[in-house]
Every structure is written in C-alpha cells, then in structure tokens.
Amino acid sequence: MRKIKFSLSKQLILITLTCLLLMIVLISIVIPKSLEPYFENTVYSNLEKPLEIMGKNRDLEYEYKNTVYIQNINGEYYTNENYKEILGIDDITEVFKYIKNTRGKFVLNGRLFYYSVNKGRENRNIAITDDSYIKELRNDMLYITIPSVVLIFLIIMVLLLFWSNHLVRRIEKLKSKVDNLNNPDYKVNSKNEADDELKVLNGAIDRMKDMIQTKEKYEREMYQNISHDFKTPIMVVKSYIEAYNDNIEKPKKVIQVTEEEMNKLEKKVKKMLELNKVTYLRNNTNEVIDLKPLIENKIENYKVINKDLNYVFECDKNSQVKGTEEIWESIIDNILSNAVRYANKDIRITVNKNNIVFYNDGENIDEKIINKIFDSYVKGKKGEHGLGLSIVKKNLESLNYKVYAKNLKKGVEFIIERR
C-alpha cells in the first residue's frame, strides 16, 4: 500500500491533542472566570459567620487566616493587631472610605480585598480579607481537574489509536479489493466484521465485482457469438465460390446463395448497430409520445409481411409513453417480428394505464430460457440473431420500464410494465 504522508492515526492524535489543549485552556481560564461569583459568595459567607457571633470581649487575633476584624463599640474601634501586615496601612480608618455596602470588594495598594459588614443597633462589625482564599480555591480546582482531564484524554487517545489501526486495516482490505476487481481468484475474508458503513461499502464492492465479472463473461460470450454469426455466412459464400471455381456449382446458384447469406449478414450487422445505439438513445429519453398511431402503423406494415395472421389492437386513453419515436419503433419492431415468427393465427396488442401487452398464440417458451430470453444471443426454437429482445430490454430500461415474458395455457405474452 502506498505510504500516506499524514495517516489516519496521526490525524486522530493531532485532533485529540488539540482537544486536550482546548480543554486545558477552558479549565484554566474560562471555567475559573465563570466560577468567580461562586468563589466570592464563599468568601462572603466565611466573613459573615464570625460577625454574627462576635461579642465585646471576643478575641479577634486569629479567627481566619489573612482576615481583619473591626469592631465599633460605643464609637471606639477594636481590630486585630496584625491588621497593618494584612492591609498594608497604619490607620485602620482609611478603609472606611471603601466600605459603602454590607458586602463588596475594593483595591488597596494594588491588592484586592473583600469585606462584609454586620450592623447592629449600637455596633458595627466589619470583616476584611484579601483574595488569597479565592486563589487557593482556583488552584485546588486546577490541581484536581487538569490531571484528571489529561488522564482521560490519554485513555481516549489510546482507544482511538487501537480503533484507527483496526479501521486502517479494514480500509486497506477494501482498497485491495478495489485493486483486484478484475481478478476472479482474489478473495478477502470479511467475516465477523462490525455491522457498520464499511461493511456496507464492502458489500457494494463485492456486488460491483460480481457485476464486472458477469459483464466480462457476457462480453466474451457475445464476441464468440458474433464471430460465429459472421463466420457462418462468410464460410458458406466462400464454399460456394470454391465450388464454382472447381466447376461444381453453377453461377446462378452461387449468386443466389451469396445474396441470401449477405442479406442475413446485413440483418445481423443492423441488429448489432441497433444494440450499440441504445447507449446514445438513453441521452434522449425526456420526450413523451403517443404510442397509439405508432402501433397502428406498425401493424399495417406487418399485415403486408404476413397476411394470414389476425391482428387485434386495444388501447385506452393512456397511450402516452416516455421516449422518442425512434426508441419505440425499435421496441415494437423487435417484439412484433418475434410474435410474427412464432404466432399461429392471432396477435393481440393491449395498451392500458399499467401495462403494454403483446400476445401471440404460438407455442410456449421453454421454461429453461424464459427468464433469459432478453439476454443477448439467447434464442428460441425459431430465433434468428438473439439480439432483438436484448435491444428491447435495454431500450425499456433506459426509459425506466420493465419487460418480461409470460407463458399462458395457449400462447405467450410479452408485458411492458409502466413505472
């Protein structure tokens, strides 16, 4: 298999690492920002609880780390001894200008502080702390979540690598199948594979291979039949010419046989050209024509060929069909010529909204070939070239119509189904 510069495994690794990087950025920046209100509410709760139970003689030294407590008792202020270290100021009253609500935050000397105020009837208690607690919460969250996310992504990456390697092996099998579509001996075991899209694709490739091999077989058989059909009249004419040169046959007989064989050969060539023409006609199937006058005209022509047959034509109002006159002339000619060849007395054509039926009262088609009668070079007892009904089928398929033959107790029907 050709070496791929950027394999599926590498792509998956790159995608996983990109997702991991985005997740880390999300956890490090976006999530902490979104959780900021929760962190702040936690700080305010920690500040407010001591204020609710704070009394006159309460020791305020170390209630909470990095927290300053201020009591206003009868106009006098009491606070921690280390407030200067925490706030970075000498006069505690400097912070009062920042405290305007029952809770809030302010920046002092480049540092962020949070405060909470508990107002009683006579006293006002204040608690102030810096943002170190929020930083600790944020760091604790990152220390827990980032390693967990990395571990999860590593597990996902390993699973994806196993999956991608399995997927690549299956794709390589499919590529190998495609490369060997023309090799009838090449087989790949695809059993016990997952029932997924690749299995569906594998089945489609198998069907394509069968179609290609069937087509190749058909073409080989067709070329053999064509060679035989062309070779036979040529050999007959050549034999009579040699007989004439050896003074065995008279010129009149040689000319008669040559003319008969050339006529046969001409008909075969016309049928082959008509068969090849089907592909061209498929590109001209958007027209709609009235079938009634076309069939009536063909019946009149065939009455001249064989006056002993009785023709009956029944047609309702639904005589419009897809296709061109050229296509339908070919279809009707080939079916009628076949009917005339096999009919005893009666030929009946019926056109309705569902079907177009050609009936003749001749003998039944051999059941062994009735399902193959529309294949090239399949002939009945009185068949001539084996191409006529094949042309019919290909033309009708180009119009999205279906055709099949059906044996009756007396006679045969060729039925064209409208779709």
Q: What is the CATH number of the domain that holds 17?
A: 3.30.450
User: Which one of 277, 312, 345 terminates a domain?
Assistant: 277
Q: Are residues 346 and 291 in the same domain?
A: yes
Of 96, 112, 114, the C-alpha closest to 45 is 114
- State mean pLDDT over 395-414: 89
Q: Are residues 61 and 79 in the same domain?
A: yes
pTM above 0.85, yes or no: no
Taking residue 305's Cβ as centre, other Cβ atoms within 10 Å add up to: 10
Provide, for the chain, the percentages of residues in helix, strand and coil under a 3-state DSSP scheme, each rounded to the nearest 5: 55, 15, 30
Instruction: Output the domain CATH number for residue 362.
Output: 3.30.565.10
- Total of domains in the chain: 3
Taking residue 361's Cβ as centre, other Cβ atoms within 10 Å add up to: 18
The rounded Cα 270 to chain-centroid distance in angstroms is 42
Residue 155 forms part of a structural domain: no
Residue 116 forms part of a structural domain: yes
Give the pLDDT band of residue 1 (cuts 50, 70, 90).
Answer: very low
Alpha helix (H) ranges present in 54-131? 83-87
Determine contact, residues 82/63, Cβ cutoff 8 Å: no
Residue 4 forms part of a structural domain: no
Determine contact, residues 310/345, Cβ cutoff 8 Å: yes
Residue 122 DSSP one-character state: S
Of 343, 382, 372, 376, the C-alpha closest to 360 is 343
* DSSP tally for the chain: helices H, then strands E: 9, 12
Residue 79 forms part of a structural domain: yes
Q: Are residues 289 and 412 in the same domain?
A: yes
d(CA 71, CA 118): 10
Residue 162 forms part of a structural domain: no
Determine contact, residues 28/45, Cβ cutoff 8 Å: no
Q: Are residues 293 and 407 in the same domain?
A: yes
Of 272, 263, 204, 188, the C-alpha closest to 233 is 263
pLDDT at 388 over 70: yes
Q: Which residues form the domain of 204?
A: 197-277
Q: Are residues 215 and 331 in the same domain?
A: no
pLDDT at 131 over 60: yes
User: Which helix (H) or strand (E) element contains residue 388?
Assistant: helix 388-398
Q: Are residues 50 and 128 in the same domain?
A: yes
Residue 262 forms part of a structural domain: yes
Q: Are residues 337 and 241 in the same domain?
A: no
Residue 365 DSSP one-character state: P
Q: Is 419 helix (H, G, I), strand (E, B) or coil?
A: coil
Q: Is 206 helix (H, G, I), strand (E, B) or coil?
A: helix
Structure-block tokens of residue 80? 């921690």
d(CA 231, CA 225): 10
Average pLDDT score, the chain: 79
The pLDDT tens digits of the residues spanning 189-220 come to 666 666 777 778 888 888 888 887 777 776 67
Q: Are residues 121 and 21 in the same domain?
A: yes
User: Which one of 96, 120, 139 terminates a domain?
Assistant: 139
Q: Are residues 223 and 290 in the same domain?
A: no
Q: Are residues 318 and 215 in the same domain?
A: no
pLDDT at 90 over 50: yes
pLDDT at 58 over 80: no
Instruction: Return the pLDDT at 60.
Output: 47
Residue 148 forms part of a structural domain: no
- State mean pLDDT over 224-238: 73
Structure-block tokens of residue 180? 């060997």
The pLDDT tens digits of the residues spanning 342-377 come to 899 999 999 988 889 999 998 898 888 888 888 766
Of 388, 387, 291, the C-alpha closest to 333 is 388
d(CA 235, CA 318): 50
Residue 341 forms part of a structural domain: yes
Q: Are residues 249 and 294 in the same domain?
A: no
Structure-block tokens of residue 110? 């480049």
User: Which one of 230, 255, 277 terminates a domain?
Assistant: 277
Q: Are residues 81 and 133 in the same domain?
A: yes
How many CA atoms, within 13 angstroms, populate the side-chain half-sphere of residue 272?
A: 13
Of 154, 148, 153, 188, the C-alpha closest to 172 is 188
The pLDDT tens digits of the residues spanning 30-39 come to 777 778 888 8
Instruction: Output the domain CATH number for residue 240.
Output: 1.10.287.130
Instruction: Return the pLDDT at 56.
Output: 46
Give the pLDDT band of residue 226 (cuts 50, 70, 90).
Answer: low
